[in-house]
Structure 1
Amino acid sequence: MSAHTVIPITGLDPYDVTIGRGLVANIAETLGGGVAKVLIVHPATLGAKANALRESLVGRYEVLLAEVPEAEDAKRVEVAAFCWQIMGQTDFTRTDAVIGFGGGATTDLAGFVAATWLRGVKLVQVPTSVLGMVDASIGGKTGINTAEGKNLVGSFYAPAAVLVDLDTLDTLPKNEILAGFAEIVKCGFIGDPTILDTIEADVAVATDPTTPEFRSLIEKSVALKARVVSEDFKESGLREILNYGHTLGHAIEHAERYRWRHGAAISVGMVFAAELASLAGKLDPSVVDRHRSILKSLTLPIDYPVGRWQTLLATMQRDKKARAGMLRFIVLDAVGKPTTLAGPEEPMLFAAYQEVGV
């Protein structure tokens, strides 16, 4: 396997996703000339690594650090305003750059800050979690949460580059790696069944960041997302398939006040979507069982308290995919064949939820 794999994102604002090891050490090559100031947005847990990154850039750039809260706590307008304040007080110009250095929530926030400051400054995403690598940092979706729901405020804004440095996973706890695998499983069900085959063959090998199998899963997931977002940057059609499991998943995250990891919530959401497709006569029950088996092997949850249905339904009705009050779900006709189910009746939704309820 080559040292670096480059996967292009095409379209109006093309850029490359580079996958490999040792990429952070050479980030100045990606930032390039013409940049005077760099803002590194990072969570507290990556403080030492962010400072080391800063030291590697000092001398060539004026480097600023914005330490933000962990996970979804970072995706608040108050945190974005904190970053804007740093940029304003240091005369951050349109030719300067933001680096998103952290997990998916951090790259979501950093992207939103870069997109909104002076209507757009250079952005380089350096995801440090599995979720960030295969999903959040790729495709130009940026955003923050509100009291009413997740990612309701945001923009589509393409980065200049995404550096997927596998070295950043070396100290990541195993449960964080497994949580990120929900998005990899999603890619398997919506478009690349070989992903599922690799996980089923040996889950321990597949989830070990030092193995060729792990890197292959990262590359396949990135390649799938790259194909989709290259064709549909602003989610006007095809890109919606990437939301498989997310309608209920986002509602669970909101209900749990974001104490659940994104991958855990999406795991339940995918089982729900599979049950819904089965009840609608679209999906063979054996594929529903396959969802449960694979996600369970990754120690991801596949159920949620049955008594929370009305709360979840109210949140889903504010989902971004809803149209004129009609709920729309990404479901499967078969593995690798996603489609949209529009306006399912509430009794069918509740029946599907009963299958994941405990």
Structure 2
Amino acid sequence: MKTVTLKLNSGSHDVIVGPGLLAESGYHLKGLGLKGKLAIITDATVRKLYANALKQTLLASGFEVTILNGPDSEEEKSLETAGRLYLELTDMHAERSTPVLAVGGGVIGDLAGFVAATYQRGVPLVQIPTTLLAQADSSLGGKTAVNHGSLKNRIGVFYQPRLTISDTNTLKSLTKEQLSEGLCEIIKHGAIRDGELFDYIESNLDRIMDCDDEALETIVHRSVKIKAEVVEQDEFDLGLRNILNYGHTVGHAVETVSDFQVPHGRAVAIGMVVAAEISNRMGLLNKNDVARIEELLTQAGLLGKVPKIERDRLIEAMHHDKKIVGGKIRFVLLKTIGEVTVTDDVSLDLVEKVLSEKL
């Protein structure tokens, strides 16, 4: 087991990473002084795979456990679902000291975190991510959100968990596509902040995709450390945290214009390649590093065939991105693998030219 401690102005908490941690959850929750009732919020798939067994582990540790059904999809990550869960927490007589455990992927983490932050003005939250994307990225940093109509992740609060438990054994139930989706964000973390992590993934990709215990623990732990370092310096996403958006300017636009036919990880991978090429054209990144990024994303299964996308619609979609500053498109660009810069000086002509070559 490896531990990363996030030291924030709002308080510190640990992220623990390793195989077999679900079976030790009761011990770790008691170590926080938690006791009595708790609520597990999960989805139908994770309930069958892990949440029912987790309930038995926690019952054996003396907790009173209620499992509540959270959203099974992004469409269900809504105010309506949150409202239902508020009523169910009330029905189980949850108090301000009653912990909420978010057990699942990013959708569950977002919604359960939002519910924990707002029910009775805040109850203890424990994140237990079960996907690679959630363990390496989305469960970290305190962002919670729900969707409403056309508003995606626009309604939410920053709310830090008391503890994050990342049992890497849960990653063995993921499909290869789901592993690739999560690996995209870890490759991103290496590209922006840790060249050695990028090198490790290049050298150990087969072990990672085969769910080797040591390889999974290594990449999740190192990814957590990178994001923790950034979040510690910019808890509320006002500056440095922008570097975590590498690949996302184009990536979010690809998702939107494709009507979400292109999954998030694949869309961000496309965005990373485009941003790397722009970095090279602007004299920041050498051609060898551009080729390494594209090759690793290809080997990870993230750069397959994509639906036909109109470049004009892509550029228009980027204008609506929440990272826009002063009407200009903000790009996170690479200086080298492991170092980035944020700039608003990327011309639309250059963006369009690179898009025409890469899509």
Could you state the TM-score of these two structures normalised by the residue count of structure 2?
Answer: 0.91
Partner secondary structure for residue 302 of structure 2: coil
Aligned to 1:19: 17
Q: For the Cα contact (< 8 Å) 2:168–2:216, is it kept in 1?
A: no
Contact 1:101–1:126 (Cα < 8 Å) also in 2: yes
- Alpha-carbon shift at residue 130 of structure 1 (Å): 0.7
How many residue pairs match? The answer is 354
Deviation at 1:245, TM superposition (A): 0.9
Q: Is the 8 A contact 1:276 1:348 kept in 2?
A: yes
- Distance change (3 Å), C-alpha of 1:292 and 1:303: farther
User: Counterparts of 2:194 and 2:187 in 1: how far apart (Å)?
Assistant: 9
CA distance in 1, matches of 2:228, 2:250: 24
**What is the letter of the counterpart of residue 163 of structure 1?**
I
* Percent sequence identity over aligned pairs: 35
C-alpha displacement of 1:193 = 1.1
* 1:203-352 equivalences in 2 (<5 Å): 203-301=205-303, 304-305=306-307, 307-352=309-354
Match of 1:117 among 116, 119, 123: 119
Q: Distance in 2 between matches of 1:81 and 1:102?
A: 19
TM-score, length-scaled by structure 1:
0.91
Question: Aligned partner of 1:52: which letter?
Answer: A
- Structure 2 gaps of 5+ residues are none
Q: Which residue of 2 aligns with 1:178?
A: 180
Per-residue displacement from partner, 1:99-140 (whole Å, max 9, x unpaired)? 111112221221122112222211101111111111011111
How far off its partner does 1:87 sit?
1.9
- Measured on the aligned residues, the alpha-carbon RMSD in Å equals 2.2
Contact between 1:279 and 1:352, CA under 8 Å: does it hold in 2?
no
Asked if residue 5 in structure 1 is aligned to residue 2 in structure 2, the reply is yes
**Comparing 112-121 with 74-83, which one deviates more in the overlay?**
74-83
Structure 1's unaligned 5+ residue stretches are none
The aligned residue for residue 187 of structure 1 is 189
Secondary structure at the residue paired with 1:126? strand
| AA of the residue aligned to 1:326 | K
Comparing 177-186 with 346-355, greater Cα deviation is found at 346-355
Residue of structure 1 equivalent to 2:55: 54
State the Cα deviation string for residues 60-112 of structure 1 (Å, max 9, x = none).
Answer: 33322222343433433332223223223333222111111111222122112
**Separation (CA, whole Å) in 2 of partners of 1:324 and 1:87:** 43
Letter in 2 for 1:31: L
Aligned pair partner of 1:108 in 85, 107, 110: 110
CA 1:149–1:296: 2 relative to 1, 3 Å: farther
Contact 1:130 1:177 in 2 (8 A): yes
Q: Which amino acid aligns with 1:20?
A: G
CA distance in 2, matches of 1:260, 1:81: 30
C-alpha displacement of 1:232: 1.2
In the other structure, the counterpart of 1:94 is 96
2:161 pairs, out of 156, 159, 162, with: 159
Secondary structure of the 2:156 match is strand
Instruction: Name the SS for the 1:141 alignment partner.
Output: coil
